[in-house]
Amino acid sequence: MAAEIAFLQLLVSLRQPLLDEIAVSITALGSPVFVLVTVASLYLFREKEASLIVLSGAVVAGILEKSINLLVARPRPDLPYLFESAGMGSSFPSGHATIAFLLATVLYREYGRPAFLFTLAGLVAVSRLYIGVHYPSDVIAGALLGAGTGVLVLRYRAELLSRLKRYI
């Protein structure tokens, strides 16, 4: 844990206004609102099956992430946050990293572009560290949880779609 704190302190020491704005913008790509925008966009662009898979994955990942979060109840790092509401809730695992890696995994399978998608997901994870709301192990766990949930929903894609077809 001491190495994690030292790394976070290094990131905090690198803060500057332009990087702060970039980090806050990038972190939004792992938010529940961004998931809803993604699902709605896919649905509107006639990618209804993909929208259902993303939504299913987000629901499963959200339930798993919140359950682990409540069980572990790890306090957030004692660092200055970039904005006041950033430090709400527990730290482990990172919900933003979970969502970002879920989206990267599912969208990669649906559309390709792994370098782009996983780079964005990685930037979301790093932004959570830069903002000061997570330890590195939080975002690593979130990334694994999100990617794992993505693999899971893709593995059961056909079964999920057969049950959800009436909503398309």
Give pLDDT tens digits for 15-41. 888 988 899 899 999 999 999 999 999
CA distance 26 to 120: 8
Residue corresponding to tokens 């990172």: 94
51: domain range?
A: 27-75+87-167
Q: Which amino acid is at 136?
A: P
Answer yes or no: is 138 within a domain. yes
Number of compact structural domains in the chain: 1
Q: What is the pTM of this model?
A: 0.89
User: What is the pLDDT confidence band of residue 14, given thresholds at 50, 70 and 90?
Assistant: confident
Map residue 150 onto helix, strand or coil.
helix
What are 103-114's pLDDT values in tens digits? 999 999 888 888
Asked whether residue 16 is assigned to any structural domain, the reply reads no
Residue 5 within a domain = no
Q: Is residue 34 part of a domain?
A: yes
| Identity of residue 44 | L
**Domain assignment of residue 81, yes or no:** no
Can you tell me the distance from the alpha carbon of 52 to that of 42, in angstroms, rounded to the nearest whole number?
9
Judge whether 20 lies within some domain: no
pLDDT score, position 98: 96
